[in-house]
Amino acid sequence: MEFESVEFNLSQYLDSQCRLINTTLENYLKTVANSSRLTQAMQYSLMAGGKRLRPVLCMASCEAIGGCAQETLPAACAMEMIHTYSLIHDDLPAMDDDALRRGKPTCHVQFDEATAILAGDALLTMAFQMLSDHAVTKNNHTDRWLRVIQRVSRAAGCQGMIEGQMRDIVAEHAVLSPSALERLHALKTGALIEAAIVSGAILGGGSEDQIRDLTSYAGYIGLAFQVKDDVLNVAGDPELLGKGVGTDAQRQKSTYPSLMGLEASEQFASSLIDKALQSLASFDQRSDPLRAMAEYIIVRQH
Ligand code: IPE
Ligand code: IPE
Ligand code: MG
Ligand code: MG
């Protein structure tokens, strides 16, 4: 018997998840913020209007295995805090030296360099405060929350994103092999995306097999996401992107377009998304948001 397939409405899904995420972020900020310059800078960057992909992926991963997505919100929002901190530091003069982010002046331009460094530090710390606050006060599935804290801290630090950022800086002006570039991308961007997805699965009570398949999905979309980011840096519209274009070439960054050209990069990203979708073969329609997100990652214009 054939069932009529219902088109999954991604933009409606993203709207409603982003509303939940933004409200949770605002509320948590209120509990720690005062009117200090530091918390103003944290609020400025955190609420500047990012796509919230990592928290949405965290929630969608939990949903895919039949868990309650809203219960992941503290983890989902912690991922966004870490991501925003990484962007603030990524934009600093000593790093990528960018002036525009999320359609606004970067944190160090709007405030100053020292404030931006400290706002990033504080957002990173706040992420683990939010995770541990939840684990301690709710006293519900504390073991799962502890696993999430372990997973996220590993992904954010010297075995994940920070090592990726280091390699990205060291690779300026160099030509990397395809495997070295893939590893760099997996660390700098993939690690946090994978941690978001695996955290959602852990909190939803996913089996080891489910976590393995979702890790595989995450690896493919994480790489595709950064390849697309690199493509948009060459061919994107700065108005839509809310950040500068052509900056990777200016700084002689190691990127997929610089290694294999634009068209081959787009094809590579698309082949990665095919593999990501194959990784979801054993999941039912509750993984439709994850499928739609995978497809969105390579067609997005911002
Ligand atoms: C940009 O991430 C930086 C990368 C890791 C490639 P996003 O494209 O998710 O940025 P926002 O959160 O929407 O601003
Ligand atoms: C940002 O990578 C990665 C992290 C912040 C960890 P990029 O430097 O390539 O991203 P954009 O283009 O500035 O957003
Ligand atoms: Mg960078
Ligand atoms: Mg950058």
Ligand 2 atom at minimum distance from 164 CA: 6
Q: How far is CA 126 from CA 26, 44, 99, 143, in A?
A: 13, 15, 25, 20
The pair of structure tokens assigned to 99 is: 């002036």
- Position 172 scores a pLDDT of 95
pLDDT for 244 beyond 70: yes
Which residue from 53, 85, 96 has its CB within 8 A of the most atoms of ligand 2, so it is best to mutate?
Answer: 96
Helix (H) or strand (E) holding 225: helix 208-235
- Position 139 scores a pLDDT of 76
Q: Ligand 3 being an ion, which residues bring their Cβ within 5 A of it?
A: 90, 96
E strand spans, the chain:
100-101, 104-105
Mean pLDDT lowest among 1-15, 172-186, 192-206, 243-257: 1-15
Contact at 8 Å (CB) between 54 and 87?
no
Ligand 2 atom at minimum distance from 89 CA: 5
Is 0.85 surpassed by the pTM of this model?
A: yes
Which single residue is written with the structure tokens 């570039």?
181
Q: Where are the alpha helices (DSSP H) in 47-112?
A: 53-64, 73-90, 107-110
Q: Which residues contact 112 (CB under 8 A, 6 or more apart)?
A: none
Using CB distances shorter than 6 Å, the residues near ligand 1 are: 50-51, 53, 83, 102, 189, 226, 229
- Position 6 scores a pLDDT of 52
What is the Å distance from ligand 1's center to 64 Cα?
A: 23
pLDDT for 2 beyond 60: no
Residue nearest to atom 11 of ligand 1 (CA): 50
Ligand 1 atom at minimum distance from 83 CA: 12
Using CB distances shorter than 6 Å, the residues near ligand 2 are: 86-87, 90, 96, 161, 165, 188-189, 229, 233, 243
